[in-house]
């Protein structure tokens, strides 16, 4: 009965109330400390950095107490200036805390160079065009030369220059095709021309 009387005594009730008050105060102070230490009330809106160069990015983020890190360069995008931001994480409009890093992807200086396959000569136009387009090239002018095979690729040219095996061109470069016309005659080579000229000169000398 002594314990029962103590539980319902005035002294015990006062101690219980004091303990509850102390617990509430400790909880309140703990929450305040957590809010302060984790910056729960601090919300910085991430700006839109698209098309900005790194100098401007650094200035703007420094004013907002934010940092940045460049992840990598992506494939060249002609809609964005060279070396400008084309993607960012977190996205614009998101809210972050102070000192948060913004991860950036930059636009490279231009299209990368791609090696032109050296096994396209004598293949048909229907085979060559899809191959070149899949590599990122564009098909330009199509011309014909006398040759036994119709629509067979005899030459590849870029800006008038003959493309040699192993040549590399910038992606989106225009490649002109020289095809056989199927006339039943082989194309005249430089050696054939020299032989004809030599025979002609010999005939003139004999005359």
CA gap 106, 74 in Å, rounded: 6
Range 113-190 classified under CATH 3.30.530.20: no
106: left (phi over 0), alpha (psi -120 to 50) or beta: beta
- pLDDT range class, residue 86, cuts 50, 70, 90: very high
Nearest to 83 by CA among 53, 50, 49, 113: 53
Mean pLDDT of 60-81: 87
- pLDDT range class, residue 202, cuts 50, 70, 90: very low
Residue with tokens 């014909």: 144
Within 10 angstroms of residue 115's Cβ, the number of other Cβ atoms is: 11
pLDDT tens-digit series, residues 98-148: 889 999 999 987 778 889 998 999 999 999 999 999 998 999 999 999 999
pLDDT tens-digit series, residues 157-198: 999 999 998 899 988 899 999 999 988 765 444 444 444 344
**Cα–Cα distances in angstroms (integers) from residue 152 to residues 31, 125, 186, in the given order:** 79, 6, 12
| CATH, domain range 44-106 | 3.30.10.20
Evaluate if residue 90 carries a pLDDT over 90.
yes
Query: Where do the structural domains in the chain lie, given as residue ranges?
Result: 44-106, 113-190
């Amino acid at each position: 009965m002594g314990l029962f009387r103590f539980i319902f005594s005035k002294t015990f009730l006062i101690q219980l109330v004091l303990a509850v008050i102390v617990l509430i105060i400790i909880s309140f102070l703990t929450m305040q400390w957590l809010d302060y230490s984790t910056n729960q009330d601090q919300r910085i809106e991430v700006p839109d950095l698209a098309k900005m160069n790194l100098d401007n990015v650094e200035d703007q983020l420094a004013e907002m107490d934010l940092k940045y890190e460049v992840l990598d360069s992506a494939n060249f995008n002609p809609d964005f200036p060279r070396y400008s931001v084309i993607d960012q994480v977190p996205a614009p409009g998101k809210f972050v805390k102070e000192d948060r890093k913004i991860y950036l992807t930059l636009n490279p200086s231009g299209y990368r160079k791609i090696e032109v396959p050296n096994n396209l000569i004598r293949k048909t136009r229907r085979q060559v065009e899809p191959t070149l387009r899949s590599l990122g090239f564009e098909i330009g002018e199509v011309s014909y030369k006398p040759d036994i095979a119709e629509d067979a690729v005899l030459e590849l040219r870029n800006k008038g220059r003959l493309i040699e095996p192993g040549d590399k061109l910038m992606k989106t470069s225009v490649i002109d095709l020289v095809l056989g016309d199927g006339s039943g005659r082989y194309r005249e080579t430089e050696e054939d021309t020299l032989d004809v000229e030599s025979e002609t000169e010999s005939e003139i000398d004999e005359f």
